[in-house]
Structure 1
């Protein structure tokens, strides 16, 4: 069997794409390795009717919905290779099974690489986060910190003032702030700590204070750490998709990549912002492009 479309990735983008394509009466296989990036997140916010839903609950509801359509096959497997063929694409999974499809959507997302700071991962998703829009509300008016080694530190610091004025900015020993940035932050009475961070110290599973390499300690109850984003899988790069300056992949704005028949859905192409509602919407938009292109070919 050759599917009309295969989707690699079982997050909000891939699942929503499968729903739309399945409802268009196209045969679609969604290949899901069951390793969601937001597994550590306590709750997802900012998605109307689903505000505060746990990632497990969201995923469970979405999988059951797509399974309601006989045109959709939800396959729990990990794809290890993708090749272009005369039919479209051939995918092989980790147990040697091959699958063919006319069109391919990569909804594989991105992964975060965080600074190597002791104590970070036990607190990630509990009191340390990366998205103010997702978790800023829960830390409102609390003593918080923002840690970033990148030029976006100044922008993030300004943004966080909407949630709390008790803010400490940490560069972790990197030159991520200009002199003008520093001047503006200090004018708002924001403390800037340039020392490398040696550890995040917790109490009962929540951040209590930050310890710096010079021995300094400051109390904080939570905050935000900026990661470096990288692609989760190498398929697009191996197939020759053109990259963007931000690290994503070029599309026509409707999901079509620079490789005919290959599409992107979710943050694999645009890198940020990384929210469930963005990913799901992008999955829907890309799915419509796939169906339109199949319609034109078949007609």
Structure 2
């Protein structure tokens, strides 16, 4: 019987595994190795790891975990989790079955990008979603914000911190109030509400945005407001409650409404999606698991 299984090998699952391993708990980290940041060349904002490649971050993390004999890493997909009276049965894709007292879901999110031709050619290279992660590298450049929802105005204000040469494209949507339009004009931020036909450039570097009305603009990079959805259905099939924003509802130590099931990292949508935030949540949730195990055993 395992003390805990962690499902998802992102920063949250990795850091949670480290805390659990160091607490002398027998654990398995299940990692399908399909990270959300696979298209990202560098991760930023994590002290001592600023600018690191996500793949290198993961390699170092797994290397550190392998120092602990009570921690095992299994590169397989978890297909189903069945709750028993005092434990959980975990079924993985190969057909193997594991038993565990606790489960941490760190399965993360998936970006849902606007349906624009050429978007995938530049996302993660010169088009990004988080200015805190990538704003410095694009500061003072001619930028575009592609946003189709009501959060566009907040994103504009954020991006103005890094570059004043900003064009906002809504891809045919009308998402700004007249008051917001007036403020954009006052700040000399151009607003284009025409539908985008295609994004063009070379080797991942955005150069031109062509619109269906025949016009075009030149930009050197920018940001896009992506939608988010759960990367795994495990939390939902287990009956975990969700917030209105789609995140998994938890207490301050990651406990869900299902006893023995915890959620950490981006899955809860409780903090901005950054490596350092996810890793921090993984540590806190792992401590919550340890507190519960110790209380039960003592």
TM-score, length-normalised on structure 1? 0.98
1:25-36 matches, cutoff 5 A:
25-36=24-35
Q: Does 1:147 align with 2:152?
A: no
Report runs of 4+ in structure 1 exceeding 2 Å deviation: none
* 2:6–2:13 CA contact under 8 A, matched in 1: yes
Mapped to 1, the partners of 2:266 and 2:175 lie a distance apart of 25
* 2:17–2:71 CA contact under 8 A, matched in 1: yes
**Aligned-pair Cα RMSD in Å:** 1.0
1:36-185 matches, cutoff 5 A:
36-185=35-184
SS in 1 for 2:199: strand
- Segments of 5+ residues of structure 2 without an aligned counterpart are none
Cα pair distance change 1:296/1:204, threshold 3 Å? closer
* 1:87–1:100 CA contact under 8 A, matched in 2: no
Mapped to 2, the partners of 1:254 and 1:170 lie a distance apart of 40
Mapped to 2, the partners of 1:205 and 1:74 lie a distance apart of 34
| Equivalence for 2:211 | 212
Moved more, 102-111 or 34-43: 34-43
Deviation at 1:175, TM superposition (A): 2.5
User: CA deviation digits over 1:174-195, x for unaligned, max 9?
Assistant: 2222222111111101100101
Mapped to 2, the partners of 1:204 and 1:291 lie a distance apart of 47
* 1:247–1:271 CA contact under 8 A, matched in 2: no
| Equivalence for 2:202 | 203
* 1:119–1:202 CA contact under 8 A, matched in 2: no
Deviation at 1:272, TM superposition (A): 4.5
Mapped to 2, the partners of 1:164 and 1:155 lie a distance apart of 15
Mapped to 2, the partners of 1:126 and 1:175 lie a distance apart of 28
Deviation at 1:205, TM superposition (A): 3.2
* 2:271–2:277 CA contact under 8 A, matched in 1: no
* 1:32–1:76 CA contact under 8 A, matched in 2: yes
TM-score, length-normalised on structure 2? 0.98
User: CA deviation digits over 1:59-94, x for unaligned, max 9?
Assistant: 000001111101101111111111111232111111
- Segments of 5+ residues of structure 1 without an aligned counterpart are none
Mapped to 2, the partners of 1:196 and 1:161 lie a distance apart of 23
SS in 1 for 2:36: coil
Mapped to 1, the partners of 2:266 and 2:158 lie a distance apart of 21
Q: Does 1:250 align with 2:241?
A: no
SS in 1 for 2:81: strand
Corresponding residue pairs, total: 298
Mapped to 2, the partners of 1:152 and 1:204 lie a distance apart of 30
User: CA deviation digits over 1:91-115, x for unaligned, max 9?
Assistant: 1111111111100000000001101
